[in-house]
Amino acid sequence: MSSQLQGKCAIVTGAGRGIGRGIALELAQRGAQVLVVDMDGEAAAATAEQCGGGASGYQLDVSDVHAVNEFVASMIEAHGQIHILVNNAGINRDAMLHKMTDEQWDSVLAVDLSAVFYFCRAVGTHMREHSYGRIVNIASASWMGNIGQTNYAAAKGGVVSLTRSIAKELAFKNVTANAVCPGFIETEMTLSMPEEAFNAMLAKIPLRRIGHPEDVARVVAFLSSDDAAYVTGEVLTVGGGFRL
Ligand code: NAI
């Protein structure tokens, strides 16, 4: 089965918990060696241990450009080739526009957009040299616009545009880039929502359940595989049909 990932080396950011952990586990289950990145080093190590298959965990702030460049260079040196990059690390700092602080704006743009650029530039340059690569960036259905999320929606909209541009730029080098937009997925990010908002979101989902990290992970694994060799520049929502 070509959706298997034996012999592939993958970086997954924000994989200490939630959707990122689900992605790391799914890629590992399909045979990839996973380099697990998270701000929380212990969580990264725990995910790596669960992955097995030569996985290792690294503490890294993805919004620190120097740290990202150093990390990617050292991983290329250690592993020879990085085949898959999944930019998943993300934060939200929701507030209505009139109450949003500079700090809320800057922190979300730094982690959710600039960091994606840093990793895509560092790993994409390497993939270009090797004429092979699969980049999957985790955006959000909120990229279309959402109340209380001007910062988050702007960052995720930026991720979509960045991904489509990379897809155009690197297609001739056999590097694909796609964006996945999770809808409403059960993680610490969503479980911290007020109950009323949580139930209101649930009511909008035709498939009548909240999504699970594995629902997103299986789609990411497909896009990371050679089954998706002819798919690039796409923006795929994984949301139980809530945009219908
Ligand atoms: P989460 O909050 O459960 O996990 C995020 C992980 O990223 C954590 O382990 C955290 O330590 C790590 N992280 C945060 N800032 C970091 C930094 N500067 N450097 C390195 N690691 C950092 O989040 P969740 O729900 O798993 O979300 C994952 C991705 O999916 C995010 O990009 C989020 O925006 C996106 N998403 C999630 C949805 C959901 O319903 N849960 C819906 C739409 C998008």
User: For 226, how many CA atoms within 13 A lie in the half-sphere containing its CB?
Assistant: 9
Position 54 scores a pLDDT of 96
Nearest to 163, CA basis, from 181, 185, 151, 189: 181
Instruction: State if residue 184 touches ligand 1 by the CB under 6 angstroms criterion.
Output: yes
Catalytic residue, chosen from 58, 118, 152, 230, is 152
Catalytic residue status for 152: yes
H runs (alpha helix) in the chain: 18-29, 41-51, 65-79, 102-109, 115-130, 150-170, 188-191, 195-203, 213-224
Q: What does pLDDT average to in each consecutive run of 10 residues of the chain (244 residues)?
A: 85 98 98 98 98 97 98 98 98 97 98 99 98 98 96 98 98 98 92 88 94 98 98 98 90
Ligand 1: centre distance to CA 172 (Å): 31
Instruction: State if residue 239 touches ligand 1 by the CB under 6 angstroms criterion.
Output: no
Closest ligand 1 atom to residue 156 Cα is 34
Position 193 scores a pLDDT of 84
**pTM recorded for the entire structure:** 0.98
User: For 94, how many CA atoms within 13 A lie in the half-sphere containing its CB?
Assistant: 12
Nearest to 86, CA basis, from 156, 11, 31: 11
Nearest to 161, CA basis, from 172, 145, 177: 177
Instruction: State if residue 232 touches ligand 1 by the CB under 6 angstroms criterion.
Output: no
